[in-house]
Amino acid sequence: MMAKKIQYLVVDYNDLVSVPAIESAFDTDPDEILSMFAVAIKDILKERFPQYAEKIRHDVRVRIANYPAQRSLREINAEVIGKMTSVSGMVVRSSEIKPLAKELVFICPDGHPTSVVHEKGLEFNAPLKCSDGKCTHRDLEISPEKSRFIDFQMVRLQELPEDLPPGQLPHYVDVTVLQDLVDNARPGDRVILTGIVRIEQEHIPSMRGKTGIYRLRIQGNNIEFLGGRGSKTSRSTEREEISPDEEKIIKSLAKNADIYNRLVASFAPHIQGHDIIKEAILLLIVGSTQRVLADGAKIRGDINIFLVGDPGTAKSEMLKFCARIAPRGLYTSGRGSTAAGLTAAY
């Protein structure tokens, strides 16, 4: 941590299995065990690097890798509230980065500070009056310079296309990510997310008072990338790198006169016919080149396809195949395809 100037430590869950007390604590109270990990890390840091330990004392945390309790997004329900779980999915939307208050300091007109510590959750109650016993002021103003904030982002995770049951719409769940996890996974990335399932109250304008309906949300603890676990850089390099043997095969295939027809025939081979549609989707994946005109105007090389047909004619199947072979493919259907979020994902 000291060498990399980071505030977290990644712990492999497989190293904890030998201690039954720690393993069972993850099932009963994951918040407590994570806070105890943070205390242990602080104690070791104080012995080795006391100055660095004092500097990051509020931000020390642990991230759990290879957590075994994997669930699908359809299995995230009321039974797992407050428990740690691991889900795989595709990031389809991410919000802007916002500051989340962890400790707010309010100042009254006489200059007395009133501190409010925000441990967990997204809601907090502002103080009604000054904390000074002799002061009666109630008009308190926040002091951003003395308060403490961390980075916050909302990410939407959707079922992977290969996990989607036939004829079903993909499920999704909203995830809150904090600090260094912010802007780590971007739309199109396939990830394994480890976190704690939380609830937040639904706000229904037509109802008086508070409703008893809550929505599920996951507080992210660690993100691992599918197709090469590890950092984002290593994962993308492994995905895009072409080996010398693959390069030889590609060059030998390029010399064949019928390579274009073979490419079209290899697209979604489990679907018979529709060669013109397959050719169009294949050209869509490859795209064209961007043209720059003499006056400086640019013509984008993107290709769009409007596919219309009767039900059961394999339209969605061809799009799912397209999403699987594209490096950053994102499959959506129904309500999600018309929402603004699909455009924002790209």
User: pLDDT averaged over consecutive 10-residue blocks of the chain (346 residues)?
Assistant: 76 79 78 83 80 75 80 79 82 81 78 71 70 73 78 83 70 82 77 83 68 80 67 50 80 83 84 85 83 84 82 81 72 54 46
The ranges assigned to domains in the chain are: 1-66, 70-241, 256-345
Q: Is 178 helix (H, G, I), strand (E, B) or coil?
A: strand
Exposure pattern of 195-230 as b/e (b: 16+ CB <10 Å)?
bbbbeeeeeeeeeeeeeeeeeebbbbbbbbbeeeee
The overall longest dimension of the chain from CA atoms, in Å, is 91
Answer for the pair 187, 330: CB distance below 8 angstroms, yes or no. yes
The pTM of this model reads 0.59
* Percent of the chain that is helix, strand, coil (3-state, to 5): 30, 25, 45
Exposure pattern of 91-103 as b/e (b: 16+ CB <10 Å)?
bbbbeeeeebbbe
The pLDDT, as a whole number, for residue 341 is 47
pLDDT (tens digit per residue) in 114-163: 777 766 666 666 777 777 777 777 777 777 777 778 888 888 888 877 77
CA-wise closest residue to 337 among 95, 158, 87, 75: 158
Alpha-carbon span 213 to 133, nearest angstrom: 39
Tell me whether strands 298-299 and 291-292 are parallel, antiparallel or unpaired: antiparallel
**Hey, what's the torsion of the CAs at 332, 334, 335, 339, to 10 degrees?**
50
Superfamily of domain 70-241: Nucleic acid-binding proteins (2.40.50.140)
Q: Which amino acid is at 282?
A: L
CB count in 10 Å sphere of residue 176: 21
Please count the residues of the chain. Answer: 346
The pLDDT, as a whole number, for residue 21 is 78
The pLDDT, as a whole number, for residue 69 is 74
Alpha-carbon span 216 to 176, nearest angstrom: 11
**CB hemisphere CA count around 140 (13 angstroms):** 23
